[in-house]
Amino acid sequence: MYQIRRGNIHDAKSIAEVHVSSWKDTYKDLINEQDMSNSTVENRTILWETILKMPKEQQPVMVVEENRKIVGFISGGKERTERFGYDGEIFAIYLLPTHQRKGLGALLLKAFSNEMKRLGYHSLLIWVLTNNPTHQFYLKLGAKKIEQEQTTIGYGTYQETAYGFKDITQLIHQLDQLEKEGL
C-alpha cells in the first residue's frame, strides 16, 4: 500500500503541496499567523525544483507514496554548522496530517538513514522548533538533545532545539526493531 522511493524533479509540486499542508497544520498553534504567510505551494515548488535538480548525493530526498500519491517526504545532507561533531543532517521531514502516527515517519527515516549511510555519513542531527511535540519522535528513537538556539521565521523569533543521532547504524537497528514490533 505504501511505497518509499527517491524523489525526482517531477515530484517538486507534490512535495511542495505536502510541505505547505503539513507545515501549516504543524505550526498553526506554534507560530504567529503573519510569520506563516509566505509559505505557498508556488514558492515551495520553486525551492523543491532547485533541490531536486542537485546531484542526489548533495541533498537526498525520499518520498512515501500511497497509491502513487505522495503523502510525505524527508530530505537532508551535510550538517550545516560543523559545531557539534555530527556530519549529516535532516533538513525536513513532513507527512500529511492524515498520514501521521501510522509509522510512516519511521519508515521514511529508515530509508533516508540507509541512503545517508551509503553516502558515507555516520551521524544525523535535526533542528526542531522547541515547542513542537514531534521531538518525542526523535527521543523515542534514541536521539540526544544537543543545543537550543533562536531562529527567525517571517518577522518572529522562535526557539529551536537540535537533536542528534550519533550513530546512523544504531538508528537503523532501532528502526528495524520498531518495525518488527509493528510500530
Ligand X SMILES: CC(C)(COP(=O)(O)OP(=O)(O)OC[C@H]1O[C@@H](n2cnc3c(N)ncnc32)[C@H](O)[C@@H]1OP(=O)(O)O)[C@@H](O)C(=O)NCCC(=O)NCCS
Which residue in the block uniquely carries the three cell numbers 525551492? Answer: 47
- The CA-atom distances, in angstroms, between 108 and each of 58, 66, 81, 83, 144 are 18, 13, 24, 26, 20
Helix/strand/coil for 169: helix
Q: Work out whether 104 is an interface residue with ligand X (CB under 6 A).
A: yes
Q: Work out whether 102 is an interface residue with ligand X (CB under 6 A).
A: yes
Q: Work out whether 68 is an interface residue with ligand X (CB under 6 A).
A: no
Q: Work out whether 60 is an interface residue with ligand X (CB under 6 A).
A: no
Number of Cα atoms under 13 Å in the Cβ half of residue 140: 13
Query: Which of residues 53 and 176 has its CB atom nearest to ligand X in the complex?
Result: 176
Q: Work out whether 153 is an interface residue with ligand X (CB under 6 A).
A: no
Q: Work out whether 133 is an interface residue with ligand X (CB under 6 A).
A: yes
Q: Work out whether 93 is an interface residue with ligand X (CB under 6 A).
A: yes
Q: Which of 52, 22, 12, 24 is nearest to 154 (CA)?
A: 24
Q: Which one of 22, 45, 75, 123 is in contact with ligand X (CB under 6 A)? A: 22
Q: Which one of 103, 119, 122, 130 is in contact with ligand X (CB under 6 A)? A: 103
Q: Work out whether 105 is an interface residue with ligand X (CB under 6 A).
A: yes
What whole-number distance in Å separates Cα of residue 116 and Cα of residue 4? 15
What whole-number distance in Å separates Cα of residue 75 and Cα of residue 81? 17
Smallest distance, ligand X to C-beta of residue 68, A: 19
Q: Work out whether 26 is an interface residue with ligand X (CB under 6 A).
A: yes
Q: Which residues pair with 145 in a beta bridge?
A: 163
Contact residues for ligand X, defined by CB under 6 A: 22, 26, 93-95, 100-106, 126, 128, 132-134, 136-137, 140, 183
